[in-house]
Amino acid sequence: MSGPHNRKFTNGDAVMRVIITEHARKRLRDMRQERILSEDIIEAAAGIPGRVPTATRFRGFFAKSGRMFDIVAKDIPGGRLVITIIGK
């Protein structure tokens, strides 16, 4: 599969489209990011309040497995783009 992967996350009435880049998906296969799932990324990205006009690193998210991670994301017209994931 190539290109971004689109998912919609519903939080009450608001719908946030979260787009995970192929680069970010590839990073999930690295040892440093093991036990972090796409669902964890979607939940984290959708939970960031407000607008993110430039690529910004957000720290301190926890996967359901307990693994801590950071994400780099920015808002684009199609939704919130997750550029990369950094496992701790």
Over the stretch 8-51, which tens digit does the pLDDT of each residue have? 554 444 677 999 999 999 999 999 999 999 999 999 999 999 99
Residue 80 burial (C-beta neighbours within 10 Å; 0-12, 13-18, 19+): buried
**The total number of structural domains that make up the chain:** 1
Which residues constitute the domain of residue 65?
Answer: 5-87
The pLDDT of residue 78 is 92
Buried b (16+ CB within 10 A) or exposed e, 32-42: ebeebebebbb
1 pLDDT tier (thresholds 50, 70, 90): very low
Judged against a pLDDT cut of 90, whether residue 5 lies above it is answered with no
What's the mean pLDDT in 62-66?
Answer: 95
Judged against a pLDDT cut of 90, whether residue 2 lies above it is answered with no
